[in-house]
Amino acid sequence: MAERADVVFVDGVRTPFGRAGEKGMYWGTRADDLVVKAITGLLERNPSLPKDRVDDVAIAATTQQGDQGLTLGRTAAILAGLPMSVPGFAIDRMCAGAMTAVTTTGAGIGFGQYDVVIAGGVEHMGRHPMGLDADPNPRFLTEGLVAGDALNMGNTAERLHDRFPELTKERSDRFGMRSQQKVQAAYEAGHLQPDLVPVAIRSEQGWGLATEDEGRRPGTTMEGLAQLKTPFRPHGRVSAGNASPLTDGATAAILANAKTAKELGLSVKMRMVSFGFAGVEPEVMGIGPIPSTERALKNAGLTIEDIGLFELNEAFAVQVLSFLDHFGIDDEDPRVNPWGGAIAIGHPLAASGVRLMIQLARQFELHPEVRYGLTAMCVGLGQGGSVIWENPHHKHYGKGR
């Protein structure tokens, strides 16, 4: 019988994230080509991994259609040059797609059924807007199960402002501005670029190379944010300045059994400690990471005080702020998104979970004094997802609590 194994995050990369739409840098690029580029870049960075040792490939996408459909994990594996013997599958948990790809395959490693897997996600929101051609069951409305506008994420964010009046527009705007500033500082320090895989892009001007995230606005000011429209509600509080933009991009990561990683000479950047997913009312889906984090902490036998670094997906500033308030964490706490987040970088839905992990792994290298870190995100239709990781650079790594 297979024994339980330690699950480690070996490495992760991503494409630069681009603005969705005709003016975005990936408008002329296929979605599957984006994730294939991430996988091939990942394999090139880890030459000691024999391609035939990959046991499965899990790739997430929210809108699984066209060039973003057709069992992406399998098609991407073939296109990335993995042997035909390597299987693959697709996953959809909306924004937590890549996170679920990691936890699902990671659980398979922990159960002793996989040694090495590739997990990631892609979202080409320019070609495949969220919910395109979806046909929600009429019972949602006729039986009053979900509010009619609960599928609009902006409306759910406005409701968080309603529910928690202390979450003001000024706090959200300031959080958004700080995200832009922190991402720019991380770029200037060279922290983000090492994990970006350049992508050849084609436009009317000819061929080019995508090397940086396209949606950054480092010159953001509070005065400028105050002037932005609130498209989801007249005199609302959610604007383009305190929400993540529509984004195209892909991510990919290698996970392994710790013993296999040692056998193959692979790096170990993090160890998976626990994870949790939880459901909440779809109308306020942004609070989802609160119960999912509580579940992950319980599963790990830890408390929020044990977490030394947080990578929280900034779908909306108000969503992160509700999490921070619940756990008694200050808006400016340096443990939270030290290099900024999705408000500046972008949020290509199903790809974002691994982007959080990539940044946490880099943070662990810089902070050996931190033992545990958290990646967490809200999920459409009223869910949250959280994963707790251990820092291999910490002096007590692998020694129990």
Span 14-49, pLDDT tens digits: 999 999 999 999 999 999 999 999 999 999 999 999
Confidence band of 2 (pLDDT split at 50, 70, 90): low
- CB neighbour list of residue 104: distance below 8 Å, 6 or more residues apart: 58, 91, 119
Known catalytic residue: 347?
yes
DSSP-derived 3-state class of residue 382: coil
The top-scoring range by mean pLDDT among 109-113, 137-141, 150-154 is 109-113
> How many CB atoms neighbour CB 367 within 10 A?
17
Residue 250 domain boundaries: 7-127+245-388
Whether residue 92 is contained in a domain is answered as yes
Known catalytic residue: 378?
yes
pLDDT of residue 149: 79
- Dihedral sign from CA coordinates of 66, 69, 70, 74: positive
| Whether the model pTM is above 0.95 | yes
Across 397-401, average pLDDT? 77
Best CA proximity match to 2, nearest among 78, 74, 75, 107? 107
Alpha-carbon distance of 328 to 322, in angstroms, equals 10
Whether residue 202 is contained in a domain is answered as no
Q: Residue 355: CA atoms inside 13 Å, Cβ hemisphere, count? A: 36
Write the CATH number for 326: 3.40.47.10
- CB neighbour list of residue 182: distance below 8 Å, 6 or more residues apart: 337, 338, 339, 340, 341, 344
Whether residue 315 is contained in a domain is answered as yes
Confidence band of 384 (pLDDT split at 50, 70, 90): very high
119: tokens are 């997990």
Average pLDDT, the chain: 95
pLDDT per residue as tens digits for the range 344-367: 999 999 999 999 999 999 999 999
Across 178-189, average pLDDT? 98
pLDDT per residue as tens digits for the range 281-337: 999 999 999 999 999 999 999 999 999 999 999 999 999 999 999 999 999 999 999
Q: Is the pLDDT of residue 4 over 60?
A: yes
Task: For the chain, give the secondary structure using H, E and C.
Answer: CCCCCCEEEEEEEECCCEECCCCCCCCCCCHHHHHHHHHHHHHHHCCCCCHHHCCEEEEECCCCCHHHCCCHHHHHHHHCCCCCCCCEEEECECECHHHHHHHHHHHHHHCCCCCEEEEEEEEECCCCCCCCCCCCCCHHHHCCCCCCCCCCHHHHHHHHHHHCCCCCHHHHHHHHHHHHHHHHHHHHCCCCHHHECCEEEEECCEEEEECCCCCCCCCCCHHHHHCCCCCCCCCCCCCCCCECCCEEEEEEEEEEEHHHHHHHCCCCCEEEEEEEEEECCHHHHHHCHHHHHHHHHHHHCCCHHHEEEEEECCCEHHHHHHHHHHCCCCCCCCCECCCCCHHHHCCCHHHHHHHHHHHHHHHHHHCCCCCEEEEEEEECCCEEEEEEEECCCCCCCCCCC
339: tokens are 């290099």
Whether residue 11 is contained in a domain is answered as yes
Residue 129: DSSP 8-state: -
Whether residue 110 is contained in a domain is answered as yes
DSSP-derived 3-state class of residue 97: helix
Known catalytic residue: 124?
no
Confidence band of 1 (pLDDT split at 50, 70, 90): low
DSSP-derived 3-state class of residue 345: helix
Q: Pairing state of beta strands 247-257 and 7-14?
A: antiparallel
pLDDT of residue 401: 58
pLDDT of residue 51: 98
Q: Active-site residue among 95, 124, 128, 161?
A: 95
Whether residue 200 is contained in a domain is answered as no
Alpha-carbon distance of 257 to 233, in angstroms, equals 48
160: tokens are 């968080």
Q: Is the pLDDT of residue 80 over 60?
A: yes
DSSP for 201-236, written as a single string: EEETTEEEEE-S-S---TT--HHHHHTS--TTSTT-
Q: Active-site residue among 161, 326, 378, 394?
A: 378
Number of domains the chain contains: 1
Whether residue 217 is contained in a domain is answered as no
Alpha-carbon distance of 50 to 48, in angstroms, equals 6
pLDDT of residue 297: 98
Specify whether the CB–CB gap between 201 and 372 falls below 8 A.
no
Confidence band of 203 (pLDDT split at 50, 70, 90): confident
pLDDT of residue 88: 98
> How many CB atoms neighbour CB 13 within 10 A?
27
Across 92-99, average pLDDT? 97
Whether residue 219 is contained in a domain is answered as no
Q: Active-site residue among 191, 235, 347, 367?
A: 347
